Amino acid sequence: MPRLVSYVSLTPMSLVSANKKRDLIKELFKVGAHFGYSRSRRHPSATPFIFGFKNRTAVIDLEKAEAQLETAKAFVASIAASGKKVLLVGTKPEARAPLTSVAEDLAMPYVAGRWLGGTLTNFSQMKKRMERLAELKADKEKGGFARFTKREQSRLAKEMSDLERYFGTLTSLKEMPGVMVVIDSREEEIAVSEAKKLGVPVVSLSGTDCNLNLVTYPVVGNDAQVASIKFFLEEIGEAYKFGIIQASAPTNHDEHKSN
C-alpha cells in the first residue's frame, strides 16, 4: 500500500499540495463530480462553487471541490483517531449500494433506507428499540422462541423483522456519533437538522441545489450519480481508516521509551 499523507497532522491546504501528484481533480472529473443541477435549482450558497453553466446546467469548480474534499477527509480522519464513530446517511436510490458497502467495510452504523425522525434527537428511546432487537435476536438464537405458542412466535418474528428494518444497521451506535456523513444534504434535511441541533458535525456531498450553510463540511459535487457518490464515500472511508492507523501508530516518544 502506498504511503498516505497524514490527514491528522496536515492542514487542509497542505493536504491538497501533498496529494497533487495523485491529480484528484482529474479523478473527480472522471466520475462526473463536476455536474450540478439546472440554473433554476441553484441555491445561492452554492454560487461561489460554480465555475459556469453549460446548456443551463451548472458546472462545478473542481479545484474548490478538491479543497473541500481534503478538508472533509482531514476532519473525518481526526474523528477516527479520537475513537468516535461516523454515522453514514444516504437514502436516495443512487446512494444506497455504495453507502452500504463503505459502511459495512468500516463496520460503522448507517441509514440507507428511511430516516426515522428522532433517530438522534430522541436517541434514548431509539437505543431502547435497538436493545430490544438485540434481546430478541439473542433469544431466538438460543432457541428461546420455542417456549411460545406458534401465534406468539409469529408476533415476535414480525416485531424482530420490523426492528431489524429500522434499526438493524444502527445497533453499533451506542452514543452520539463524532460526525454524520451525508449524501445530498437537501434530501437528508431532517437528519442534518437533528445533527445540527445536537452539535454533531456534518460532512456532506451536496449538489448545487443544497443550502451549504446547514452543513459543517460541505463538498460541492454531483450527488445524483452513483460514480460520483461512490468516489466520495470511498475517499471518506479511506480517510477514516487512515485516522485509525494514525491513532494506533507509536509516537516518537513511545519509540524512545521502548529503546
On whether residue 255 sits in a domain, the answer given is no
Q: What's the pLDDT score for residue 146? A: 82
* CB distance 5 to 11 below 8 Å: no
On whether residue 1 sits in a domain, the answer given is no
* Pair 45, 32 in one domain: yes
Band of the pLDDT at 22, cuts 50, 70, 90? confident
pLDDT tens sequence across 190-209: 999 999 999 999 999 999 99
Band of the pLDDT at 4, cuts 50, 70, 90? very low
On whether residue 6 sits in a domain, the answer given is no
- Dist. CA 78–CA 10, nearest whole Å: 11
On whether residue 256 sits in a domain, the answer given is no
> Which CATH number do you get for residue 104?
3.40.50.10490
* Pair 131, 187 in one domain: no
Which class for 182: exposed (0-12), middle (13-18), buried (19 or more C-beta within 10 A)? buried
* Pair 39, 156 in one domain: no
Q: What's the pLDDT score for residue 6? A: 43
Count of the separate structural domains present in the chain: 2
- Dist. CA 37–CA 226, nearest whole Å: 15
Q: What's the pLDDT score for residue 247? A: 84
- Dist. CA 153–CA 53, nearest whole Å: 60
Q: What's the pLDDT score for residue 253? A: 55
* Pair 161, 112 in one domain: no
- Dist. CA 43–CA 120, nearest whole Å: 27
Strand 57-60 and strand 50-54: the pairing is antiparallel
Q: Tell me the Ramachandran region of residue 90: left when phi exceeds 0, alpha when psi lies from -120 to 50, beta otherwise.
A: beta
